[in-house]
Amino acid sequence: MSGLMGYIRLEMIRTVRDGGYVIFGIAMPVVMYLVFTNLGLAPGDRHYAAVFTMVSMAAYGALGGAFNNGTGIAEDRAAGWLRQLRLTPLTPAQVVTGKVVTGVAGVVPSIAAVLLTGALVNHVTLAPGQWLSIVGLLWAGTIPFSLLGLGNGYRLTGQTAAMANVATLLSLSIIGGLWVPTTGFPGWLRAISGWTPSNSYASLSWHIAFGEAPTLREVAILCGWLVAFGLYAVYGYRRAARTA
Amino acid sequence: MDSNAVSLTSVTKNFGPVRAVDGLTLAIPRGRTVALLGPNGAGKSTTIGMLLGLVPPDSGHVSLFGHDPERAVRLGEVGAMPQEGGLIPRVTVGELLSFVGGTYAAPLPLGQVLALAQIADLPDRRVDKLSGGQAQRVRFAMALIGDPELIVLDEPTAALDVEARREFWAGMRGLASKGKTILFSTHYLDEADEQADRVVVINRGRVVADGTSAEIKRVVALTTVSVTAGGEVAWLGRLPGVRRLEVRGDRVRLRSSDPDATVMALAEAGAVRNLEVTPADLEDAFVALTAKETV
Ligand SMILES: Nc1ncnc2c1ncn2[C@@H]1O[C@H](COP(=O)(O)OP(=O)(O)OP(=O)(O)O)[C@@H](O)[C@H]1O
Ligand SMILES: [Mg+2]
């Protein structure tokens, strides 16, 4: 058991010292949030913009953290670290658990940083229940994206995996309406956006933030992608295990 | 309890058309230090990979201390250093080693391992900022920190300078004297000769010689018997024990598998002039062994 805790600790240390994580996962979303809301680039009145963009950017940051974790797997494999782990008494289940725990914990600072900025700088006020629901949904909703990132990490080599994950992060963020709201999109793009996992993911929390109930359609779409990305991650892992 | 630390029985591994390991059988009793010696591509790393449960054999059986490799690794009976890799960025040497130690039930104290691997001055250094030789020592320390019964090292001294190599072997002898079983691969013949109780020479995936270095030399290496001779010398090549004849000016070099008999025959023929007998070295044995296979 102490082995698993030690592994989680080690992976956390590595994450915190990772410039890519700090920039893409924490600093950039906070900066973008402040820029969008204070330069009048966000939609609606100031309060609406502060709330809407807070959710967008927290979602964007969380996705950044989730994909970064997947990129780390590819680097680990290239460095022979996965093999080194197999030479310790840790079981494969412990290794995977450790990586998932680190990934799941790693998105918390991203979400917290943007929400805190919203509350403290942009004076967003929500009911405690709303805050809790948003944190919970933004947190749990990263699982499909973590799986997609892991799938890329297992399937691709170091550099390629990093590129693939950044490209996926950016396209999902943009098409999903995290950077610019989909209301400004042409009709066809808005239709596509409605089917993306990123738009469904953020929509759940947008609804909560404006006192509405999330729709079943969003939950169903996100769950569909969860299954698809889960299969992809398993496929990637099998391939990686064969060629390692 | 199984008295063998390592037991490989007829293991074979193909990579596509390449037969990396070909029906290899090897048993290492507990407490021995064994060198795996062979040229590039001989199958040393593949053999070690199968022994550690990293590479599944196509056929044959592997057991460590009487159970399968994965289980032996889980039980902390094995510590290993692969030929390359295993270091990750953004952690310090101390953090990395503490983590690895923490996965074992009864690890050695960090300070002891740092001293053993000669990296006592490096615990706070980032792993990605190490020189090649320092990195190698950290990888070595990872293999030792769990205090395993079996230590497997794939080319442990490849990146070390002469001084570091000497200290490294001093440390290994200390571990061997505590009853640890050590298996290492190397290209360095002198190292196999000096450090191992037993040398297993492999080539093209097969064991081509197995014994103490003295035994291997005796079996395959040819002693050189040189004399000065003039005129017709072909008859010297037919003397007992002589396998090969080389003429350099007026010197004749006889490669002999039985130097006593050769010298005796030279004396009877009255041909002993400026006699010189040079014993075989392991290098010759190694070349003889591996060359035989490649023709
Ligand atoms: N993953 C792999 N895929 C394909 N071929 C491989 C693989 N690993 C090893 N081989 C081949 O198997 C043979 C044995 O390789 P191995 O790495 O075991 O040799 P070695 O004795 O360790 O050599 P070296 O001294 O160069 O480290 C070589 O011909 C090598 O090219
Ligand atoms: Mg090798």
Q: Where are the beta strands (DSSP E) in B33-112?
A: 33-37, 59-64, 78-81
What distance in Å separates the CA atoms of residue B165 and residue B119, rounded to the nearest whole number? 14
CA of B179 to the centre of ligand 2 (A): 26
Q: Pick the more confident residue, A24 or B19.
A: B19
Length of chain B: 295
Kindly list the residues from chain A whose CB atom is less than 8 angstroms away from the CB atom of residue B87.
Answer: 79-81
Q: Nearest to residue B148, comparing CAs of B72, B211, B219?
A: B72
What distance in Å separates the CA atoms of residue A122 and residue A231, rounded to the nearest whole number? 40
Q: What is the CATH number of domain B222-279?
A: 3.30.70
Q: What is the pLDDT of residue B293?
A: 47
CA of B54 to the centre of ligand 2 (A): 14
CB contact under 8 A, B82 and A87: yes
> What is the largest distance, in Å, between two alpha-carbon atoms of chain A?
58
**Taking all residues of chain B, what is their mean pLDDT, rounded to a whole number?**
90
Q: In what order do the strands lie in the sheet with B59-64?
A: B18-29, B4-15, B59-64
What distance in Å separates the CA atoms of residue B78 and residue B164, rounded to the nearest whole number? 24
Q: What is the pLDDT of residue B182?
A: 97
pLDDT at B163 over 50: yes
Dump pLDDT digits (tens) for A87-98.
Answer: 999 988 888 788
Report helix angle A46-78 to A143-155, nearest 10.
30
Kindly report the CA angle at B145 between B143 and B151, in degrees rounded to 5? 40
What distance in Å separates the CA atoms of residue A56 and residue A45, rounded to the nearest whole number? 16
Residues contacting residue A13 through CB under 8 Å, at least 6 positions apart: B90, B91, B95
| Ligand 1, pocket-test mutation among B14, B15, B152, B200, most atoms within 8 A of CB | B15
CATH topology of domain B4-212: Rossmann fold (3.40.50)
Report helix angle A46-78 to A28-38, nearest 10.
160
Mean pLDDT of B12-41: 94
Type and span of the H or E element at A197? helix A197-209
Q: What is the pLDDT of residue B191?
A: 86
Dump pLDDT digits (tens) for A100-153.
Answer: 788 889 999 999 999 999 999 999 999 999 999 999 999 999 999 988 998 898
- Give B233's pLDDT tier (boundaries 50, 70, 90): confident
What distance in Å separates the CA atoms of residue A204 and residue A63, rounded to the nearest whole number? 15
What distance in Å separates the CA atoms of residue B78 and residue A88, rounded to the nearest whole number? 8
Mean pLDDT of B106-130: 95
Amino acid at B152: V
Dump pLDDT digits (tens) for A184-200.
Answer: 899 999 999 999 999 99
pLDDT at A243 over 70: no
Distances (CA, A) of A48 to A40, A183, B47: 11, 14, 65
Mean pLDDT of A70-87: 90
pLDDT at A244 over 60: no
Q: What is the pLDDT of residue B19?
A: 95
Distances (CA, A) of A23 to A46, A64, A65, A139: 26, 9, 10, 19
Task: Encode A149-168: b = buried (16+ Cβ within 10 Å), e = exposed.
Answer: bbbbbbbbebeebbebbbeb
Ligand 1 atom with minimal separation from the B21 CA: 14
Kindly list the residues from chain A whose CB atom is less than 8 angstroms away from the CB atom of residue B100.
Answer: 88
Q: In what order do the strands lie in the sheet with B150-154?
A: B78-81, B150-154, B181-186, B33-37, B198-203, B206-211
Dump pLDDT digits (tens) for A126-135.
Answer: 999 999 999 9
**Under 8 Å between Cβ of A97 and A206:** no
Distances (CA, A) of A150 to A77, A93, A170, A181: 12, 15, 17, 28
Both structure tokens of B44: 């040393």
Q: Nearest to residue B82, comparing CAs of B207, B9, B183, B193?
A: B183
Q: Take atom 18 of ligand 1 and give the residue whose Cα is closest.
A: B43
Backbone angles phi, psi at B41, to 5 degrees: 80, 10
What distance in Å separates the CA atoms of residue A135 and residue A120, rounded to the nearest whole number? 16
pLDDT at A1 over 70: no
Coil, helix or strand for B272? coil
Torsion region of B185: left, alpha or beta (phi above 0 gives left; psi -120 to 50 gives alpha):
beta
Q: What is the pLDDT of residue B291?
A: 65
**Under 8 Å between Cβ of A204 and A218:** yes
- Hey, where are the domains in chain B? 4-212, 222-279
CA of B102 to the centre of ligand 1 (A): 32
Mean pLDDT of B146-159: 95
Dump pLDDT digits (tens) for B90-112.
Answer: 999 999 999 999 999 999 999 99
pLDDT at A233 over 60: yes
| Ligand 1, pocket-test mutation among B12, B14, B18, B185, most atoms within 8 A of CB | B18
pLDDT at A242 over 70: no
Q: What is the pLDDT of residue B5?
A: 96
What distance in Å separates the CA atoms of residue A54 and residue A118, rounded to the nearest whole number? 6
- Give B294's pLDDT tier (boundaries 50, 70, 90): very low
Q: What is the DSSP letter of B170?
A: H
pLDDT at B166 over 80: yes
Q: How far is B159 from chain A (nearest CA, A)?
A: 18
Q: pTM value?
A: 0.81
Mean pLDDT of A22-36: 90
Length of chain A: 244
Share of chain A above pLDDT 70, in %: 97
Q: What is the pLDDT of residue B281?
A: 66
Q: Pick the more confident residue, B165 or B284.
A: B165
**Under 8 Å between Cβ of B23 and B207:** no
Both structure tokens of B220: 């395959």
pLDDT at A210 over 90: yes
What distance in Å separates the CA atoms of residue A173 and residue A145, rounded to the nearest whole number? 11
